Structure 1
Amino acid sequence: MEWIYAAPLELGGGRYLRLILQAKRARYNDRAGGYWYYQHLDHGSPPGSQAQTLIGHAASVPGTLPLYVFYHATSATAPATGRLPAIEGVNLVFADLVAPVVSAKCQRKDKKVSRWRASFMPLSTILCWPVTVTPPQLPAPSDITRLVIGGAETPFPLLNYGFHPDVVARRLNERRDQNVDRKADSPMFVMPVDSERREQDVDAKADGPTLAVPVDQIPDNIQRAINGEMTAEDRRALTRPRVIFTTRLTRNDPDYPIIEKLSR
């Protein structure tokens, strides 16, 4: 699945960030006292090749960040404890943390939920965003959508949704910083991100963490989807389920600093 955050009103043909999500479901093993694990975490032939393909594809497409989505049954969930995040029904993990582990003779202990818990992010990291309200323009333009209740026209405010690609990217990159010091039941490799490097070196390197970096110029096929003008060819070209979040917000909007602050 892919989630796309787009700001079509930005200069330079709009701006966007694409997240590619690879799903894995936790299963329960009743041996050795019982534990939850991701049976197919190292999927592929050779083992782990799926993760490498995910990383490679994301690196080849500007503005793309790969993530793993871990699904857990209710009986596997657990509240946050100490410095460890909660195990929720859905958790996210940066894919570049998973890839080197599953490609290096991945063992059963490397597939345990507890092995990855230190790097968990909640689904709200990419789903829940603040909204600011812009008062309706009066008099309203003739071509604006109007809300009529009981025969009377009602002013309809414009909503500036917080899922601007730069706001999303900043939150994701900061979340990576926040889990650097966490420790799971077994050692967990977590790649820190230097804040100065994030600002100065936006190109993810092969030997460093993959950063969320939005890009300009929304592709034509995505722009057509935003406009509700997808063609039959566009639909045939879809290789995975896709969700597009759009916002009227731009980096020059007075609401942008408010949204950015509330999103942290």
Structure 2
Amino acid sequence: MDIQGKVAVITGGASGIGAGLAKRFATEGARGIVLADLNLERAQGVARDAGPNAFAVKCDVSREADIQALVAAARERFGQVDIFMSNAGILGRMGGIELEDALWEKMWQVHGMAHIWGARAVVPEMIARGEGYFVVTASAAGLLNIVESAPYGVTKHAAVAVAEWLRIAYGRKGLRVSCLCPQSVQTDMTAGGTGSAGLDGVLTAEQVAAEVVATMRDERFLVLPHPEVAKYFQAKGQDYDRWLGGMQKLYAAHTAEPKPA
């Protein structure tokens, strides 16, 4: 799908990948760009930079009512939604099963149910028209896991599964679906450090947006701005136990007590 003439909704649009997508979509000739974020003021600034065909809506993607209101605002302004970029994400905190239920629940909402709610709001009309594009921002952690944060790795796996299911169920009914799985990207979430996600370099949001557009044009499923991820994913599938052993070593190195000076 080409972006020119299309209407795109982007959640998590106030910064990082979302802001990069808005800028790129404007360059590609989108007819309308709707930026959704909890930080409305910052999202409005991104919308101004994207041009007169962009506007911002305050939206908490952990609430289905907010996503429904977002889509209603996009329809009121532009008539329909052609592309839904389900991009919002949170980092949470480092840790594992000991982390509190409230954090796990928030991660499930933002990295799991938000994609379901987004699809519920726009996919039926896309199917009725026989055309539409739904992009889930997951992470390389959704394919490969991540040693620093159990909630992040687990819920990003869920994000990939949602995208897979949408492609399986509706791919022959006109819905295009892609899943964005980058490693580290220059965003507010990585400002404090990239951890193991930065092993293969840190990309700019603009570089990621360019890869998203190229993948959408070809209508491929996985968007892999870091090409190394494909190799790691292939290795995981070929020898799962060996891959798990390698991840155990990475986890051990991450959690090792620092040696005294």
TM-score (norm 2): 0.28
Q: Whose strand proportion is higher, 1 or 2? A: 1
| TM-score, length-scaled by structure 1 | 0.27
